[in-house]
Structure formats: structure tokens, C-alpha cells
Structure 1
Amino acid sequence: MTEPTPEASGSGEPPSKNALKKAQKEKEKAEKKAAAKARELAERQKKEADDAADVSVDSYGELPLIGSKDFKPTGKPRVDLADIEKLEDTEITFRCWVENARVQSAKLAFLNLRQGLNTVQAVVAASDKLSKQMVKFCGNVSTESTLAVTGLVKKVKEPIKSASIKDFEIHITALFIEVKAEVPLPLQVEDAERPLPSEGLGDEDEKASETGDARPLVGLNTRLNNRTLDLRAKINHAIFVIKSGVCALFQEFLSQKGFILIHTPKILGAASEGGANVFELKYFDRPAYLAQSPQFYKQMLIASRFQKVMEIGPVFRAENSNTARHLTEFTGLDLEMEFQENYHEVMSVLEDLMLFIFKELNSRYEKETELVRSAYHVEEFKLPESGKVPRIPFTEGIQMLRDAGEELGDYDDLTTPQEKHLGRLVLEKYNSDFYVLDQFPLAIRPAYTMPSPANPLLSNSYDMFMRGQEILSGAQRIHNADLLAEMMRKHDPPVDPNGLGTKDYVECFRYGCPPHGGGGFGLERIVQFWLGLPNIRMCSLFPRDPQRVIP
């Protein structure tokens, strides 16, 4: 560009210094723009040349969103990594996600790939058939991205410590991103694999302590606030595989005993069982309530000539209990059954049910149990033999605690610390983490509990415990309408047998009902105490407590 002359500027005076500076800047700007365009063109040409020379150009990349665009399926069968030992030297295709990806050099990258509870090391190595561009792409895939991978299964000389599959690795020949994970993640899944900072509620996770490897421990609240990421942790998958297993084993055992699976209402027209600790909701133009338990309906079905019933369903308790073992919504495992002559017949079924569940968890879910316990370093659950479950009369349990230094009355309810203390005493005396307390004081049981014939201040009721903490409350139920109405009126607080939520229940016993009993387990507690977990919220997919109703 030439500088303007006086004539060109329309003035007889020479241009000012500012005008010269401005012209110079314009010139530099134009030159920079031209240089940038030249670089962009050169880079594009280089990329096109590289792509043309990329022998792997059709073996990696990001796929269109499946289902949203035309996409021609490959038709390749997908493999489960659990079967990898049978596939040595075979090329396989499988879906997985990325735990970790790293570029080792221009010609080598490593990935840790996960499918379910299985993880495998994968290698991407440049060669005549695999390009450096593919190595770079694979080594930079974002953590948690979902992939479709094809590769050769190769046996390794030394066990791989960083993967659950230790004797084999995948030599990748094709890798496509099906769904790319956005980064940074609000929670690292590897941090969710580690134990909680403490045995508290995790409410102070912002102040989480540091470990020796300088990574901050992530508290429970942070994990629950990012639950979908937290649930990706292998330890959490194992917890819920076990939880599913408990339900399946519960039904398997009881079905073999002739129990029928039932489903009772969870929306009630009136608050039952005394009306305390219930959630009220608006039901069209009137109030309704969430069920505290299926108790009344279980008994009404026994009166309806269903001899044995079981249910797995939600239970709602409006208790403002912010502890490590309480939820406001949990899953109840309930059963009710006729007995012939003594309510201990029911207790025997319940004991054998739990022994079956424990033993089958040990055999069928050994891998998942060991995975979780390895993080929390919990002692193996001590099991008694069938018919030898410790049945401790409540009065004897009181005496054991007194002998150990506790101060409590003959008919006092046990506090949580006292329950745990008794659990340690029972373990020491009977070598069992599972036991039953029988004949509880009548005053601390529901109004429908049958009084004890041996002592009118006691009742034909029982609780079951794991590691010193209650998992079941059960009893013989009153099956005579007049006695039931009398006991309801005497109860503290009194219950009206003619009330809206109780009248139909009481009246059903006027038409003849056999003696019966049962109990209700808390599913999450069984899982928590079996695995030795510090907080029950870990056993609920999306837990509900007094402080949490989302996500």
C-alpha cells in the first residue's frame, strides 16, 4: 500500500502522524490476515494429505447418534467380556466405556475399557496397518465415553494389575465413539470406587480429608447429588446386584414354601396403625396417606383364606430420623402366614429364609460381595446352622446387657447403641452375627400384637438382627375382633377400632380367621449389614430421607 500524497488527501498539507500510524496498522492487519489464511490453507492441505495417507481412516472416529440419522449397522455380533478367556486369538467386537485413555508415544496408546463389572486393558499400536492418527485419536478419547471396539484377544505374559481381566488384553483394530462424554465430569467415577470419608452421613463432604495419594475423599452428598455418575462405580453396581439377589432369593425360598406374591395398596384413605409418622397427600378433593406397611392388608388376606402371602414393595415412614440406617422410603420384604399351634412356627420359617439368603449370597454372589467388602474391610458374616439360630428371650438380652454394665429397666426398649452392644455380646457367646430377640414388652409393640400367655406385660413378638442391628420386626397377630378392639383402645396412644382406617380391618376377624403371624424386613438394611456398609443411603438407588427428595 502506498502512502497518500497531499493531493490525494485533498489538502495541500502533508498527512499527520496519526494518519500514518493508522495506515501502518491497517497494513499489518492485512498482512496477518493473509498469513493466517495461508496457514489455514496449508494445514487443511496437510490434513487432506494425511487423511489420504491414513490407512486407518475407516477404522476410527465418532459415529452419528444411533437412531437419529441413517446408519448402516455392521451386523457384527457383540461379545460379553466375561467370555474373553474362551476367545484367545479371536477378533471380537464389544460395547464398552472408557475408564482411562492415555497416549504413551506417537505410536502407542493404552486404554482401560469397562463393560459391567469387567475391565480390560486395550492397546493401540501404530504399524503398516494402523496409523499414528488412530493412535492419537484413541489415546485422547474422553473418560466415560461409550465405544464400539473391535480387537484381537491376546494372552499376556504378566498379569495386568489395573484391570479385572488380568491374563488377556485387547489389541485394537477399530474404535468408534458411539456417545462422547462431556468433560470435565462433576464427579470422577474412580473417586466413587473408594470408601466414604467416614461412617457419618457425609453431610460435610466439602471438608473431605486428604488421603496419602493426595486425592480428596468425595463425601456422600456429592455422590448422591451426581448419582448417575456415582452409580457407575463397580462397587455400586455390585451393591445393587446383591440387592436384586436378595429379592430373588426371598421369592425363591418362599415360593417353594407355598407363599403367594401379593401387591397391596400404597395409597390409603385414612392413616392406619395409629396414624403416626405418615405422609399425607392430596387425593383429588380429599386427603390420602402413603402406606407405612402392608400389615393390615396382609392380615385381611389371611382372613380371606390365603394361607401364606409375601410382598416386596415400597414403605413410607414420615420419621425425622437423620441416621445412617433410616430412610423415609424403603423397600419392605413382608410375609404373613397361618400357623398351627405356636407362633414359633413362623419364626422358624423366617430364620430358615434368612439362612437360605445368606448362604446363597455367599455362593451365587461371592464376587460382588468380596468386591464391596474389599473396600470397607468388613469381617465375614458369621452364620449359625439351621435350627441353631440364637433365640434370646428379651429378658435374657436385658440381663446380658446389665452384666456388661448397661443400665436399663426390665421393659425398656433398646436404644441403637444398646442393640449394637448386645450384638457384640451375642457374637462373642454364640459366634453368630444373626440372632432373634423374642417376647418383647407389650407396651412397645403395635396394638395388634398378641399378649404373652406367660406374662401379660410381654408379647408374642420378635425382632431379628444382623451385626447387632434390627432388620425385621414381627409377631403373632391378634385374630379375634373383640380382643383386637380391646387392645387397640388400651394402647398408648389409643387406636379407634371403629375409625375410618381400622374398621374394615377389625371387622374382617369377625368371620373367622386362623392364628397367624409374620414380619417385615427392611431390604436396604439387609444389604447394608450383610456388606458392612457405613450408610443405608448407599443401598438405595435414589435415596429419600428427611433432607433429600431429589434427584
Structure 2
Amino acid sequence: MADPEAQNPVAEEPAGPSKSELKKRQKALEKEKQVAEKAAKQQELAAQRAAADVDYATEFYGPLPLHQSQTRPRLPRIEISSLSARDGETVLFRARVQTSRAQGSKMVFLNLRQRADSVQALVVVSPETISKQMVKWTAALADESIVLVQGLVKKTPEPIKSASVQDVEVHVSQVHLISGIDGRLPFSLDDASRPDTDEVVTDADGKAQQFSRVLLETRLNNRVVDLRTQTNQAVFKMQSGIGDLFRQFLSSQGFIEIHSPKLQGAATESGASVFKVSYFKGNAFLAQSPQLAKQMAIAADFERVYEIGPVFRAEDSNTHRHLTEFLGLDLEMTIEEHYHEVMELLDGLLLSIFRGLREKYHNEIGLIGKQFPADEFKWREGPEGTLKLTFRNAIDMLVEDGVPRETLDDINTENEKRLGRLVKAKYDTDYYIIDKFPMELRPFYTMPDPEDPTLSNSYDFFMRGEEILSGAQRIHDPALLAEKMRAKGVDPESMKPYVDAFRMGCAPHGGGGIGLERVLMLFLKLNNIRRASMFPRDPKRLDP
């Protein structure tokens, strides 16, 4: 009989995976997990990059449409000079980008300028308001671009030396381009603002760096850019101040302002230095001064008059102090007893201008002095008053210093400066008056000295050894005037209306003319009158 267990054997259970198989499976699972994690990270990174490429700040930056007075701003525009008092305020202002400096892709520093004032601003990436694209666009703005900036004013932990407003900075929330730069700047304002005496500058790390020197000719050829420097902003603010101080003093002394014609039918002083222009079918002359009109106003009983206006001199003088067109500060007044009444009033006028410049423009003088270092302009105060020399006194001082007397019929430019040095050394003043010039050196309308006809009742005023004012008592007698005109080679009939004014009766009078640019140049010691003229005109320059 067969064994039943042998006929129906029991099935054996399959054997489990081996250890090596388990290890393989574990490694496969781990690999799959790593691949999945890597894929997830890549997806997350891709999502982050995609989000970063979305520019969420487009309304907060970019070029503005052409300004055609479409709207008014939501915030009032402010001046950079007022920012120190606006800590914590959101402000809106227009400015030029003087410099920009990016720090990576998330921050850019700007130096923003209005006239002579500047402030530091920064644009920093922030969620929902300032994107990387906005920072990149701002960093690419060309120097001297004009922008409209909105931002929050914040105090700084330490002074910002690169800006004139040093105690606050602006955290920009919006920046829009108003006007960009078409082409390249002829020079940087940093280079144009450095002292001419410097050859190297030191950077923040103390390393010496060479820089490009901007020559005066280059500046004048690109005057619009040159005038943007803080130095020039201060210079021409002071030029305006001289005109204001001139008007204020003379108005307080009973003078009125007149406006004389600049086209004349005859030369004011002589034909040698006059510009002739075509005038319909004939010729006319550009006025060398308002001299004739001032005197005729006195004959018309105005008694005290002044004018600020252009003066034209056709002199081929290519010097540091001559222009073919300059601004004249002229006055004329009646005399009661002596022409020194006029000289003393002019002295008081100039002292008033000097004091006003020192008191009202202290900051501007300091700013200009950084680029044009100079000793402070000095004049005598107190009971001793302004130094007054006669022409003979001045000659004697020069002779004592070794100048041959026979060469001193007139005091030329070189000897003027030499005399200025002698006066400064002896009297410690940069400002003085020389009286009683020889008659032969003065114009035909100058009154002779009553005791010595070779001398005249005339005077010049000097600053730092250079003449800035010429004046005199004028001849008010028509017969004597005609005689002196003929002696100077001028036909009285060629100036008949002028001579006739004195035939109608005219009070004794005198006056003077001041060169505004010379006063400014010498007070600040700018060394060249072209730096004191906005758009100078000389024998070689008629533009810009």
C-alpha cells in the first residue's frame, strides 16, 4: 500500500530575499528618493527664478513721457537743501544724477544734485516695491541725467562727506527719468571741481589716483556743463549778489536806475576801441560805456543815477583781465563842493559790497576757496579808512622799489601788480585808491585840476593790485568840453547832441564805472576774468 504522504507531498514556502537583494533594493529606493528630492529642488529653484524675473516695480521707475505740463505732482516738490529738517518724511524732488555706484545686484547709491546742493540716495531691492530690474535700471542712469525721485528721508549714523547735505540720506521708493544724456559728457563734474593745482587725488583706501585736468578752454567750449559745478553755482550766485548790493546801497543814497541805449551814433571816448556795426543805410557804434547818457541825465536834473548793463570794448587784449563785453556798474551824481564827494561815495559803495559779500556769502566763499585757494580779501576798516595815494605817491613807491622813473609816464599792468604787492606789504590792504592822474591819461570829458592843468580830478580804485574802477569829475562847461575834445582829436560836431546838453546848463558832476567781473574775480582770486563771466566774450571767443 502506498504511503499517502508520499502520494500528497506538502508544498514548501518560497525562500525570502537574500541580504544582498535587500541591500540592492534599499539602494534603489534611496536613489529614487535622491532623484525626487533633486527634481523637487530644481522645480523650487525654477519657480524662484521665475518669480524673480517678474518685474513687480514697473510703475515705480522708468522714463517719464515728454513733459508737456500734463499733471501736477501728488506731493509738493522740495529743495535738497531742506532735507536735514525732514527726517522721517516722504519727499519728492527733481535732481541730477551726479554719480551712481552699484553694490552687487541689489543696491545702488546715488549722489543727487540741485545747483550747489547734493544728497546721497540709495535704491535697495525689497519685496513688492523695488525689484532687481529697478535697481539695475537706476544703476545704468547716465551721470547728469535729470530724475524725479520719491523717497523716505532718514538720519545717517555718521556724516556723508561726499554730499553737501551730510546728516540725512534718501531711501528711494520711486525714480523716473525726466531728461537723459544724448551723447557723452565732455568731462566729469568731479574732474571739473578739483583745484587746478592738484595732480593726484587719494581714494578711500588711501591710494593715489591720477585724474584728468579740465583746461579753461575746454570748460569754456562746454560752458553749460562747466557751469553745473558747485564752484560755478557759488561764483554766479555771488555775481548776482554784487548787483543786488550795488543797487541796495545806491537806492539808499537817493539814486535811481536808468537804462541807456547800447547803439550810438558816435564813439563814447575815442574811435580806436569801438565796435562799428551796420545800421540801415549808415553805421552805428556799440556803447563803450553809458558815459554820455549818464551825463545827459545829470543835465536833465536827475542828479543821482546808476546803471547795470553791458559795455563793449574793441580792444585786442588777450589777457587774464580783459573782455570785449563785460558788465558795467556805473553811476553819476551832482557835486556840491568837491569831486571827492563822488570818490568818497564810491568808496562807501565798494566797502558796502565787500562787507555784504563776506556776511551774506560766507558759505559760497568757502566752497569756491576749495577749488581756488586764496588769502582772504582784506581792506582797512575803522577811523583810518581806505588807503588813498596820489598818482605821484604811487610812482614814488615804484621808483623806491627799483622801477626807473622815466618808464612811469603811466602805470602798466606789470607795475600795477607790483604796486599792489608793495601796498599790501606796507599797509596790509588789498584795496586802495589812486587820485590825481595826469590829464593826458584821461578821456576828454575829465575835469582838469584847478591848480595844475597837467593833472586831473580823477581817480582809480584797485583790488589786489588791479584796477576795478575808473572815475572823475566831468567837464560841465560846453566851451571847455569842446576844447578838450579837439585836443583829443574828437570833433565836437560829431557829438553835437551831447555837447548841446551842457549848453542848456548842467550842474557840476562826477562819477565812475566799475567792472563787475573784475570785482568778482579779484575778491575771490579766480585768476582769470573768464571764470567770472557766464559766457565770456574776448577777441577769440564769440560762442557759446
Settle same-fold status: TM greater than 0.5: yes
Structure 1 residues 262-316: Cα deviation after superposition (integer angstroms, max 9, x where no partner)? 0111001222322221111111111111011111111111011010000000000
3-state SS of paired residue (2:268): coil
Q: Which residue of 523, 529, 532 maps to 2:516?
A: 523
Q: Which residue of 1 aligns with 2:349?
A: 353
Q: Which residue of 2 aligns with 1:58?
A: 59
Structure 2 CA distance for aligned equivalents of residues 265 and 348 of structure 1: 28
- C-alpha change, 1:321 and 1:109, in structure 2 (3 Å) is same
Note if contact 2:268-2:289 (Cα within 8 Å) is conserved in structure 1.
no
Segment drifting more, 402-411 vs 100-109: 402-411
Q: Which residue of 1 aligns with 2:247?
A: 251
Note if contact 1:395-1:410 (Cα within 8 Å) is conserved in structure 2.
no
1:196, distance to aligned residue in structure 2 (A): 4.3
Structure 1 CA distance for aligned equivalents of residues 311 and 460 of structure 2: 18
Q: Which residue of 2 aligns with 1:401?
A: 398
Note if contact 1:435-1:464 (Cα within 8 Å) is conserved in structure 2.
yes
1:75, distance to aligned residue in structure 2 (A): 2.4
Code of the residue aligned with 1:402 in structure 2: it is V
Structure 1 residues 355-411: Cα deviation after superposition (integer angstroms, max 9, x where no partner)? 000101111111111111221110001021266011111100110111111123496
Structure 1 CA distance for aligned equivalents of residues 146 and 119 of structure 2: 15
Q: Which residue of 337, 344, 369 maps to 1:341?
A: 337
RMSD between superposed Cα atoms in Å: 2.1
3-state SS of paired residue (1:99): strand
Code of the residue aligned with 1:61 in structure 2: it is G
3-state SS of paired residue (2:76): coil
1:321 aligns with 2:332: no
Q: Which residue of 2 aligns with 1:272?
A: 268
Kindly report which structure 2 residues correspond to 1:96-495, keeping only aligned pairs within 5 A, or say none.
96-128=95-127, 129-196=129-196, 213-385=209-381, 388-409=385-406, 412-491=409-488, 494-495=489-490
Structure 2 CA distance for aligned equivalents of residues 137 and 255 of structure 1: 54
Structure 1 CA distance for aligned equivalents of residues 196 and 515 of structure 2: 23
1:439, distance to aligned residue in structure 2 (A): 0.2
1:173, distance to aligned residue in structure 2 (A): 0.9
- C-alpha change, 1:103 and 1:183, in structure 2 (3 Å) is farther
1:496 aligns with 2:491: yes
Q: Which residue of 504, 508, 530 maps to 1:537?
A: 530
- C-alpha change, 1:230 and 1:246, in structure 2 (3 Å) is same
1:130, distance to aligned residue in structure 2 (A): 2.2
Identical-pair percentage: 49
Note if contact 1:279-1:317 (Cα within 8 Å) is conserved in structure 2.
yes
Segment drifting more, 401-410 vs 170-179: 401-410
Code of the residue aligned with 2:476 in structure 1: it is H
Q: Which runs of 5+ in 1 are unaligned?
A: 1-44, 199-208
3-state SS of paired residue (1:178): strand
- C-alpha change, 1:138 and 1:291, in structure 2 (3 Å) is same
Note if contact 2:195-2:370 (Cα within 8 Å) is conserved in structure 1.
no
Q: Which runs of 5+ in 2 are unaligned?
A: 1-45, 202-207
1:249, distance to aligned residue in structure 2 (A): 0.6
Structure 1 residues 36-94: Cα deviation after superposition (integer angstroms, max 9, x where no partner)? xxxxxxxxx99x966883332211111111118xx544322111111112100111110
Structure 1 CA distance for aligned equivalents of residues 436 and 51 of structure 2: 82
Q: Which residue of 1 aligns with 2:78?
A: 79
Q: Which residue of 2 aligns with 1:548?
A: 541
Aligned length: 491
Code of the residue aligned with 2:466 in structure 1: it is Q
Segment drifting more, 295-304 vs 189-198: 189-198
3-state SS of paired residue (2:507): coil
Structure 1 residues 456-478: Cα deviation after superposition (integer angstroms, max 9, x where no partner)? 21110000001110000000011
Structure 1 CA distance for aligned equivalents of residues 450 and 51 of structure 2: 91
Per the normalisation by structure 2, the TM-score is 0.87
